[in-house]
């Protein structure tokens, strides 16, 4: 697994801009919680969607499709939380479950590819 540095920097910059957008439309009283979590989530998922290269073509395509689906889900969920007043526990639990589920799926895809190479 290799990272493309230029694409990684671009993914982080786009995630920072999207997090700033979340900050602008945020209606919750915790003004920095939503943009901070959105930045970390979107950076992690967006980097895996565009900047990671794995040896198997099928594995890379599967990981990227899953990453794009979860990126879309994270953006929609964070926009909903930003536009509507939310409780902190509901925000943290739902975002945490989504990211952990994403990591589990991508890990399983990469692990299956390693097993098939043996």
> Tens digit of pLDDT for each residue in 16-32?
999 999 999 988 888 88
The domain of 102 spans 2-117
Per the structure, the count of domains in the chain is 1
pLDDT, greater one: 7 or 30? 7
Which residues, in sequence order, are CB contacts of 35 under 8 Å at separation 6+? 19, 20, 22, 23, 26
- Across 6-10, 68-72, 98-102, 108-112, least confident range: 108-112
pLDDT of 101 > 90? The answer is yes
Query: In whole angstroms, what is the distance from residue 32 CA to residue 77 CA?
Result: 17
Q: What's the whole-model pTM score?
A: 0.89
User: What pLDDT is recorded for position 56?
Assistant: 83
pLDDT tens digits, residue range 56-100? Answer: 888 899 999 999 999 999 999 999 988 887 888 989 999 999 999
Give the mean model confidence (pLDDT) for residues 5-24: 94
User: What pLDDT is recorded for position 49?
Assistant: 93
């Amino acid at each position: 697994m290799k990272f493309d540095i230029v694409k990684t920097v671009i993914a982080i910059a786009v995630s920072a801009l999207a997090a700033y957008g979340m900050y602008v439309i945020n209606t919750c009283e915790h003004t920095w919680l939503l943009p901070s979590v959105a930045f970390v989530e979107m950076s992690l998922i967006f980097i895996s969607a565009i900047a990671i290269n794995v040896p198997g073509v099928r594995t890379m395509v599967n990981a990227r499709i899953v990453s794009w689906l979860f990126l879309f889900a994270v953006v929609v969920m964070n926009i909903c939380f930003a536009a509507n007043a939310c409780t902190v526990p509901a925000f943290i639990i739902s975002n945490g479950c989504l990211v952990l589920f994403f990591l589990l799926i991508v890990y399983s895809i990469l692990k299956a590819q390693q097993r098939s190479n043996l």
